[in-house]
């Protein structure tokens, strides 16, 4: 299991502050990066406050690696809410994202195999978008062909 923790030892000056008025020690996700992440990882799950506060320490034990669970609990004091973004298959490089107001911060990232570098994901965006539009177009064509087939046989 590969886990990347994005906590910064020296938080940037002028960055966001959490509930404790401390500087948030995680990198902000820009609007451009956010567009890439939501295309690559379309499924979002909000993490339960009970787990983040430590009231239910065994919650998510089957789905989140121990290092990620520890980091989420540590990060909780800075954020309004925390989400896990992933694909339909859980082993595909999910990320943990913290929200403070309208700002998003990258907490951690993990996967079963070596993680795909963000720059590689960013470069593959046009291909991912083309694929999703092509699949949607094929579904539409298949639906129209099916309707055409039904109408043809009803009129014949």
DSSP string, 119-136: HHHHHTHHHHHHHHHHHH
What's the confidence (pLDDT) of residue 152?
80
What is residue 100's predicted lDDT score, i.e. its pLDDT? 92
Express each pLDDT in 21-59 by its tens digit: 678 999 999 999 998 888 888 889 898 888 877 777 677
C-alpha 137: how far from chain center: 26
Say how many CA atoms lie within 13 Å of 1 toward its Cβ: 13
CA 48 to each of CA 60, 71, 131: distance values in angstroms, whole numbers, following the listed order: 9, 15, 34
Give the mean model confidence (pLDDT) for residues 76-104: 87
Query: Bridge-partner residues for 3, per DSSP?
Result: 110
Average pLDDT over residues 11-29: 72
In terms of pLDDT, which residue wins out, 35 or 62? Answer: 35
Which residues are bridge partners to 100 per DSSP?
103
Q: Give the integer Cα–Cα distance in Å for 85 and 64.
A: 12
More confident call, 99 vs 149 = 99
User: With 60 as the cut, is the pLDDT of residue 67 above it?
Assistant: yes
Indicate the range of 18-22, 42-46, 77-81, 140-144 predicted with least confidence.
18-22
Mean pLDDT of 75-98: 86
User: What average pLDDT does the chain have?
Assistant: 80
Rg (CA), the chain: 20
């Amino acid at each position: 299991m590969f886990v990347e923790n994005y906590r910064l030892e020296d938080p940037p000056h002028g960055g966001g502050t959490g509930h404790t008025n401390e500087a948030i020690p995680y990198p902000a996700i820009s609007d451009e990066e956010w567009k890439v992440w939501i295309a690559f990882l379309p499924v979002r799950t909000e993490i339960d406050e009970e787990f983040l506060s430590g009231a239910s320490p065994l919650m998510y034990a089957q789905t989140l690696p121990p290092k990620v669970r520890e980091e989420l609990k540590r990060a909780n004091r800075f954020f309004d809410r925390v989400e896990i973004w992933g694909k339909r298959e859980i082993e595909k490089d999910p990320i943990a994202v913290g929200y403070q107001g309208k700002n998003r911060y990258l907490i951690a990232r993990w996967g079963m195999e070596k993680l795909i570098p963000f720059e590689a994901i960013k470069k593959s965006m046009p291909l991912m978008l083309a694929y999703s539009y092509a699949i949607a177009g094929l579904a539409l064509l298949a639906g129209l062909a099916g309707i055409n087939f039904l109408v043809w046989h009803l009129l014949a």
